[in-house]
Amino acid sequence: MKLRAALLAATLALGAGACQDAANAAEPVVEAPAAKRVAKEGKGLKTAVFAGGCFWGVEGVFSHVRGVKGAVSGYHGGTERQADYKLVSSGITDHAEAVKVVYDPSVIRYDQLLRIFFSVVTDPTQLNRQGPDTGAQYRNALVPLSAEQNAVAKAYLAQLKAAKLWDQPIVTKIERAQAFYPAETYHQDFMLKNPRHGYIVRWDAPKVAALKAMYPGVYTARFQPN
């Protein structure tokens, strides 16, 4: 079942150096199915990395999920020297804007995080872009950090492709884990600190609203800071 995220009020002006703002159409959200391959990760906190466009929204959604202990915005891949917002945003590096999520699998499993990711965080049919943001740095990708995560990610991608929930083919890739570089301090907990920022209001707050509406059992009103 396909749903469309409702737009919030008027768009506010964006400050310099922010994620881009362009198109007028709302990003769709899709009620992805529960994973057939359930993650079995054992006890203790686990970590996963997701790339799904501008990291503000990815971080914002996961920070409202029960069992998530922290979500850090950063850059996956590329070099440490070039892990700089201006350079990454220019598209000249090999990084992807990404979020490292620390979670308790006894509360929220990796397969459930995948379901949330594909339902309300990213449009898996957009190649090297996401919403208004264009370039390979905004690609959507899964970065498994364990053999179990890798197996679950592969199985879920196959399940989604077979389900044909989207009109266009899924282009989300599974990327080999590389170095993850935390983004600059002002990017961390950006939605919490800047709830009225134009980009947050226009693009990311609707994703959190969709999380609450679609998965109330895992949604928490409290933003979990990293």
Q: Which residues are catalytic, by number?
A: 54
**Alpha-carbon span 87 to 187, nearest angstrom:** 15
- Which residues contact residue 149 at a Cβ distance below 8 angstroms, ignoring those fewer than 6 apart? 39, 41, 46, 48, 110
Q: Bridge-partner residues for 133, per DSSP?
A: 130
How far out from the chain centre does Cα 214 lie? 16
**Alpha-carbon span 218 to 220, nearest angstrom:** 7
Contact (Cβ atoms closer than 8 angstroms) between residue 156 and residue 55:
no
**Alpha-carbon span 25 to 99, nearest angstrom:** 25
Which residue is listed with tokens 């449009």? 123
